[in-house]
Amino acid sequence: MEKGNIIKALRQKLRELFPQMQSYIDDGTITKDDWTFFGRIIYRLINCFIVNPEKAIRRSKAQLNKILRFYEKEVRIRKLALKSELFLMDNKIDVERLRAQLGSFQENLDYWAQRHGSTDLCFEYEIHLFLFYKWMDNYEFDEYYQRELILSLMNLCGYYGTRYFSLERLETEKNVLISEMRIGSELLRILDYAIEIRSQDDMVPGSDIEILINEADAHLD
């Protein structure tokens, strides 16, 4: 099925499962930029679910490497900065804040390094699925219907792994993702959420990037 048809079918499913969503959009509870963020999550899930297993593994490995390089660089920079009192004084840097950032980035690096070294590869779809659940939970949308929507999306995309999933397995995986996965708003650019998407479908329109990331940040606290 073409992406445009997948999105149209998914919209129908959204209206069926979450009839209150449109009123949230109309009254501004869900802002235009937050809706854009949701659209980008869905768009990336579609891209994950329409590929074959070999491509999915290659993309997942490449993404893990990108995330690791990002956190390795951020940790290294902060460690070097903390070693130079002159640098800290000249730039009027809040040392305690810098140490807190270092601690957070180091924890994230340790997590992703562990996932990278595990035989249980962190597939790309898991990252976008985590963001999907965080977004939906923020508006307190029914958890059962969240999982039903994802299962429907897998079927619409002809996802090769659909046969391994059920509503029960998705519930288990959601609990693990929410409790363990470490994603901060700083990763949104690394995950390409800050790239303008050109699409014929207005579900994923262009948006001011900083506003988009600020909106998304609220779901990651």
Contact, 162 vs 154, CB < 8 A? yes
pTM score, whole prediction: 0.83
Task: Locate all alpha helices (DSSP H) within 84-186, ordered by sequence.
Answer: 85-90, 95-117, 124-138, 143-157, 167-180
pLDDT > 90? residue 48 = yes
State the chain's maximal CA–CA distance in angstroms. Answer: 60
Residues 6+ apart with CB under 8 A from 205: 36, 39, 199
67-95 average pLDDT score? 91
Dump pLDDT digits (tens) for 82-101: 999 888 888 888 899 999 99
At residue 89, the 3 state secondary structure works out as: helix
Domains in the chain, number: 1
* Residue 32: domain span: 1-221
